[in-house]
Chains A and B, each alone.
Chain A
């Protein structure tokens, strides 16, 4: 059985549950771009994974048929996953036997003719095998070695799980520190004015829980006395958190999805990126206030701009004065030009353009013509046509704004190769984003009901995005490293000589022709004036964001870039 190499590398192996997960994540990343570009359907995008080397003839055929959009899954692939899933270790672990719950593949219609073993329909058998593989892959058990699992506690008063025990490196990029003022009793014990703990956002808690790396414990709120007795804390003798029970993954889904603006779509986008090893955090605007409040007195003055970097900075009319002045000057200069043009026209009596848009044009270059013809203001600094209906936002929650503009970036995403620390990120504050510039800003929408964004919605998003990096694209990663070329064989030198000779010839001919006056150095001139348009830059745009489009559970990614043809005039 040939296992696809990409999937083999993508997941941490079952044998080593205690290895730092983050490493795996970053390791797997170079493989993944192909995957996330190609497939959007967990049910079907296996075609993308099957295309790795080692794929047999069957795979190849499937690819050819459907142009990589195959919606069938290959049994070998399923089996390779089924072989890798995690099972409960049985009581006799010594000989490596694990207890697996056997899935019975139901057969449909008992009246069906049951073929004999000798004449069993091959197709039927193959189907049965694929089904066995598929459901065999579903019996895996979440969890891990007790020394690799982290623990957190959730209580009704604080729906953000508080992390009690950390194992592994996943928490390097997950969770936020929340500061609380200490109670007088705690201060009496010699603690500081504030104490802090790591708490998890709904998506973080759910991702870790369903990944099997975090056990969340569920309990009621404990009183101070109970807390002093150790309730709600990890207790080694009880193999768990005192006074609490384990939260199941099912309860986790019910609890966390729908909380703090986390829809199914947003969770799936989050988990998708996390599984690929990206670092992903909410944009500052959508981080719950609970995490942003800071009780320490030194930070009482809150910079509103830093709190909401997405909001437009405070503006009043006098800030516009320079703009008005420059506009006035432009208008005046244009009028002047027209006047001069008219005077010239009077002088020359040139009335060719009378009645056309070019009336009053007075210039001698194409550029001036185009400038004259531009009667509609251009550029992204110009506001888009205003919408007739003013938006009224009920300020019930900070997520209501998504009803009016679902394309507002909800997440910041960093590539696995980006250096990211929670401290530098600083909960997505303005300084934090400068320290750790996110690789992507991502919105999340649902595909069936949410229409393509309007120009106003796009404009709103683009207005607070940072400019895309300019200059040549940095190609980082092993996929860009080219193997050194073998030295060329010798006969190339002869070729070069030939070329040189030819060049000499053509030079000579050119010279001759120009001498004769038949041909000027026209060719070169054309080359120089040839319009140069930086197509990749034009295509990339000056600002951009990505959107996770979720169609009943399939996440696809789309990039919206802002580009202006006026910024790249070819003339």
Chain B
């Protein structure tokens, strides 16, 4: 897996090159995705952006409780990361660019080499395993033989005793008894030789198998990134035709509020499950419950008393407080020079007399 470029590395491209150390987010049909666990950890721990795991977890693939890479990011998360210069978007084409014949042949050669190595290793591993198991089997066989013998002896003795009793009663000969013992011993020996023969047979049968197989990884990153085409289209500025996010006034309000909350060291999750726009955590969601559900008000939007009551009740019901985020773009002023966006936060709490 040496050839697979990791997300953390800056990606090669001929379009406007991203800043040094900027994280590539791969754009799949309008959704930014992360494909590297290290990048996911960096985003999570340093930039307070967690995203949502969306891929089947390798090895535990029949459940939805815990998913794996890729990580999908919310629109706000993506726009925040791009605007802050932390990350850039890489547009993935809707059909992968085809490698040249040379690239294919060199790649194939490498693969053959690698797979042969893997196969040999697997074969060796299998052989050594077999040796070990054969040894174990022999050991076990010895034990089993001893047991068998002991059992046979005990049985023989029992029978002998019984016969002796009989003999005593009838007054027979002891020669017969001796014969039997020898016969039993003979049979155990023959059994032994048989098992050894069997072992040999097994070994002979299995060693010439064509291929024991090998672990075949499915790559998560493209194997060949050819430099001659525009596989990687870098997007540094938003909104873009490929990622139309902060477009409407509401989008801008959402992004600004999101950014503001992150700068206040809160972390943000998806809110609709709790009846708000966002869920706001005081720290890492691995550790803390969310404290707020947020509602968004734009440009002196009117507020009905019933909405206040509903949000307050919602907060109580979900054991969070309701956070009202007010966004004002101040565009009513004629002179656009002082186009300053304003954000205010209010939290809602029930109170009563007595």
A255 contacts across to B, CB distance below 8 A:
94-96
Residues of B contacting A207 in the complex (Cβ-Cβ under 8 angstroms): 56
Complex contacts, B35 vs chain A, CB 8 Å:
249-250
In chain B between 219 and 241, which residues have their CB closer than 8 angstroms to a CB of chain A? 219-224
Asked if A30 is an interface residue, CB under 8 A from chain B, the answer is no
Q: Known: A85-B68, A86-B58. Is A106-B45 also a contact (CB below 8 A)? A: yes
- Is residue A283 within 8 Å, beta carbon to beta carbon, of the partner chain? no
Task: Tell me whether A142 and B217 are in contact (CB under 8 A).
Answer: yes
Of A87-95, A174-182, A346-354, the one contacting chain B is: A87-95
In the bound assembly, the distance between CA atoms of A481 and B201 in angstroms comes to: 49
Q: 1/0 contact trace for B316-331 toward A, CB 8 Å? A: 0011000000000000
Q: Mark A70-96, 1 if CB is under 8 A from B, else 0.
A: 111101011001001110110101100
Query: Given that A7-B65, A40-B273 are known contacts, is A275 also in contact with B56, CB under 8 Å in the complex?
Result: yes
Residues of B within 8 A of A103 (CB): 37-38, 41
CB contacts (< 8 Å) of B28 on chain A: these are: 250, 253-254, 257, 264
- The reply to whether the CB of B46 lies closer than 8 angstroms to some CB of chain A is yes
B285: interface (CB < 8 Å): yes
Q: Looking at the complex, which of B122-130, B185-193, B297-305, B339-347 is the stretch in contact with chain A?
A: B122-130
What's the tally of chain A residues with a CB closer than 8 Å to chain B?
Answer: 113
* Residues B31 and A251 in contact, CB atoms below 8 Å apart: no
Is there an interface contact between A211 and B216, defined as CB atoms closer than 8 Å?
no
Partner of A142, one of B38, B211, B220, B273: B220
Contacting pair B66 A77 (CB below 8 A): yes
* A137 with B220: CB separation less than 8 A: no
From B69-77, B140-148, B176-184, B256-264, the one touching the partner chain is B69-77
**With A78-B66, A144-B216 as given contacts, are A212 and B111 in contact (CB-CB < 8 Å)?**
no
B351 at the interface (CB under 8 A from A): no
Is the pair A65, B60 in contact by a Cβ cutoff of 8 Å? no
Q: Which of A40, A46, A211 contacts B61 (CB 8 A)?
A: A211
Determine which of A36, A65, A130, A240 lies in contact with B108 in the assembled complex, contact meaning CB atoms within 8 Å.
A240
Query: What are the residues of chain A within 8 A of B223 when measuring CB–CB?
Result: 245-246, 248
Q: A156-B95, A238-B111, A253-B28 are in contact. Are A65 and B319 (CB under 8 A)?
A: yes
* Chain A residue at minimum C-beta to C-beta distance from B284: A127
Is A287 in the interface zone, CB < 8 Å from B?
no
Chain B residues near A495 (CB-CB < 8 A): none
* A382–B284 alpha-carbon span in the complex (Å): 55
Q: Kindly provide the distance from the CB of A229 to the nearest chain B CB, expressed in whole angstroms.
A: 14
Residues of B within 8 A of A275 (CB): 56, 61-64
Find chain B residues with CB under 8 A from A78 CB: 66
Tell me which of B41, B59, B270 has the highest count of chain A C-beta atoms within 10 A of its own C-beta: B59
> Residue B353 at the A interface, CB < 8 A?
no
Q: How far is the CB of B324 from chain A (nearest CB, A)?
A: 19
Stretch at the interface among A328-336, A450-458, A547-555: A547-555
Q: How close is B32's CB to chain A, nearest CB, in angstroms?
A: 12
* B62 A28 Cβ-Cβ under 8 A: yes
Q: Is A138's CB under 8 angstroms from B40's CB?
A: yes
Binds A, one of B47-55, B80-88, B151-159, B160-168: B47-55
A140 lies within 8 A of B65 (CB) = no
- Provide the B106-141 mask, 1 if CB < 8 A to any CB of A, else 0: 011001100110000110110011000000000000
**Chain B contacts for A247, CB-based, 8 A:** 96
Q: Kindly list chain B residues whose C-beta atoms are within 8 Å of the C-beta of A137.
A: 57, 66, 68
Asked whether A444 is an interface residue with its Cβ less than 8 Å from the other chain, the reply is: no
Interface positions, chain A 143-157, Cβ under 8 Å from B, are: 143-147, 149, 156
Indicate whether A41 reaches chain B with its CB closer than 8 angstroms: yes
Binds A, one of B15-23, B286-294, B307-315: B286-294
Report the separation of the CA atoms of residues A239 and B288 in the bound assembly, to the nearest whole angstrom.
Answer: 49
- Is A432 on the interface with B (CB-CB < 8 A)? no
Which 4 pairs, one residue from A and one from B, show the smallest C-beta to C-beta distance?
Answer: A86-B59, A254-B92, A11-B60, A140-B58
25 contacts between A and B (CB under 8 A): A6-B65, A25-B62, A28-B63, A44-B273, A48-B65, A78-B66, A85-B57, A94-B128, A104-B38, A105-B45, A123-B287, A131-B284, A137-B57, A138-B37, A215-B216, A239-B111, A249-B55, A250-B33, A253-B92, A257-B28, A257-B29, A275-B61, A275-B62, A553-B52, A553-B72
